[in-house]
Amino acid sequence: MKSPSRSRSEVVSMLADPGIIAVVRAQRPDQVIPMSQALIAGGVVAIEITMTTPNAIDAIREACELTGDRALFGVGTVLDVDTCRAALAAGAEFVVTPICRTELIAIAHAAGRPIMIGAYTPTEAQLAHEAGADFIKIFPADTLGPGYMKNIRAPLPHLRIVPTGGVDVQNVGDFLKAGCVAVGVGSSLVSAKILREADWPALTRKAAEFVEAARNAKA
**Catalytic annotation, residues:** 48, 137
pLDDT at 4 over 80: no
Beta-carbon count within 10 A of 166 CB? 18
Q: What is the pLDDT of residue 5?
A: 80
pLDDT at 14 over 70: yes
CATH class for the domain made up of 8-218? alpha beta
Sequence-ordered list of residues with C-beta below 8 angstroms from that of 213, at least 6 positions apart, any chain = 169, 172, 173
Percent of the chain residues topping a pLDDT of 70: 98
Q: What is the pLDDT of residue 82?
A: 98
CB 131 within 8 A of CB 117: yes
> Within its chain, how far is the Cα of 184 from the centroid?
5
**Distance from C-alpha of 76 to C-alpha of 84, rounded to nearest angstrom:** 9
Q: What average pLDDT does range 69-87 have in this prediction?
A: 97
- pLDDT digit string, tens, across residues 111-142: 999 999 999 999 999 999 999 999 999 999 99
Beta-carbon count within 10 A of 163 CB? 28
Q: What average pLDDT does range 94-105 have in this prediction?
A: 97
pLDDT at 15 over 60: yes
Q: Which of 68 and 24 is assigned the larger pLDDT?
A: 24
pLDDT at 186 over 70: yes
Sequence-ordered list of residues with C-beta below 8 angstroms from that of 180, at least 6 positions apart, any chain = 19, 146, 149, 161, 162, 163
Query: 15-33: buried (b, 16+ CB within 10 Å) or exposed (e) per residue?
Result: bbebbbbbbbbbeebebbe
Q: What is the pLDDT of residue 2?
A: 43
Q: What is the pLDDT of residue 3?
A: 42
Q: What is the pLDDT of residue 8?
A: 97
Instruction: Compute the mean pLDDT over every residue in the chain, rounded to the nearest whole number.
Output: 96
pLDDT at 67 over 50: yes
Q: What average pLDDT does range 52-77 have in this prediction?
A: 94
Q: What is the pLDDT of residue 147?
A: 97
Q: What is the pLDDT of residue 1?
A: 38
Q: How are strands ordered across the β-sheet holding 115-119?
A: 161-163, 135-138, 115-119, 95-97, 72-76, 46-50, 20-24, 183-185
Q: What is the pTM of this model?
A: 0.96
The string of DSSP codes covering the chain is -PPPSS-HHHHHHHHTSS-EEEEE--SSGGGHHHHHHHHHHTT--EEEEETTSTTHHHHHHHHHHHHTTTSEEEEES--SHHHHHHHHHTT-S-EEESS--TTHHHHHHHTT--EEEEESSHHHHHHHHHTT-SEEEE-S-TTTHHHHHHHHHTT-TT--EEEBSS--TTTHHHHHHTT-S-EEE-TTTS-HHHHHHT-HHHHHHHHHHHHHHHHHHH-
